[in-house]
Amino acid sequence: MTDEELVQLKDNKLSSETKSVIRNSVAVLSQYAASQNSSLAEVQQLSPPVLDTYLSRFYAEVRKQNGSPYSRNGIMSIRYGLQKHFIKEINVDIIKDETFASSREMFAAVLVNLKRAGLGAVEHKQPLTTADFEKLYVSEVLSVDNPKGLQNKVFVDVMVYLCNRGRENLRDMMKTDFRILTDSAGNRYVTMSDKLTKKTPRRW
C-alpha cells in the first residue's frame, strides 16, 4: 500500500463527528496563528518544547469570533481535535507526551477560570424515564430483527450498562476493553475494565 492509502485507512476509522471536531479545531488554531502573524504550517514545524509554550498561550488566549471565551466543553473539544491532528501530522501527542506538561497545566488553569466565570458547568439533558426505555426497547429502533436496530441496541446497552461516563469513552473504546467473566453459578457475563469508571482520575 502507498503512504496515501495507509493514511486513508487510518482516517476511515474516524467517525464523521470526530472528523468534524478535528476540522473545527484546526480552523480555530489557524485563525489564532494568523492573528499572531503566523500560519498553521509554521506552528506544525515548531519543536515539541516550543509547541508546548505556544499551546499554553493558545489555551489562555483563544476566543470565539465575537471575542467571548469558549465554554468548558468547547475548549475541551478544540484540544481533543488538535490532539488527533498533531498525532496524524507530526506524530506528537499534545495531551499525553511528557514534553507538554506546561500546556497541560495551563489548560487545567483555564478550566478552573471558566468554572469561576460560570462557563465550566456541564449542562445535562433530562434523563430518560423507565417508561421511555420501555418504549425504546419494544420499538423497531432497537429491534434485533434487523441490522440497524441491532446496532442501535448494542450502542444503547453499552451506554446504559457499561459506559457510565458517556460519549467521551466511546471515542477510544477498543475490543480489549471488554472482558467476559463467569459468575459463581457458572453463567458468563460481559464487563469492562476499571478505566471507564468515574473513580479513575483524569489527566488533563
Q: Give the residue among 52, 55, 26, 53 at the shortest CA–CA distance from 41.
A: 26
Q: Tell me, what's the pLDDT at 105?
A: 96
Residue 179, helix vs strand vs coil: strand
pLDDT tens profile 16-46: 788 889 999 999 999 999 999 999 999 999 9
Regarding whether 163 and 112 lie in a shared domain, the answer is: no
Distance CA 135, CA 141 (A): 10
Confirm if 103 and 55 have CB atoms less than 8 A apart: yes
Regarding whether 143 and 88 lie in a shared domain, the answer is: no
Last residue within a domain, chosen from 116, 148, 176: 116
Regarding whether 106 and 139 lie in a shared domain, the answer is: no
Which domain does 156 fall in, by range?
Answer: 130-196
Percent of the chain past pLDDT 70, that is, above it, reads 80
Regarding whether 156 and 101 lie in a shared domain, the answer is: no
Last residue within a domain, chosen from 66, 94, 116: 116
Could you tell me if residue 121 is inside a domain? no
Residue 143 neighbours by CB under 8 Å, 6+ apart: 149, 150, 153
Could you tell me if residue 202 is inside a domain? no
Confirm if 85 and 23 have CB atoms less than 8 A apart: no
pLDDT tens profile 81-111: 999 999 999 999 999 999 999 999 999 999 9
Task: Report the domain count for the chain.
Answer: 2
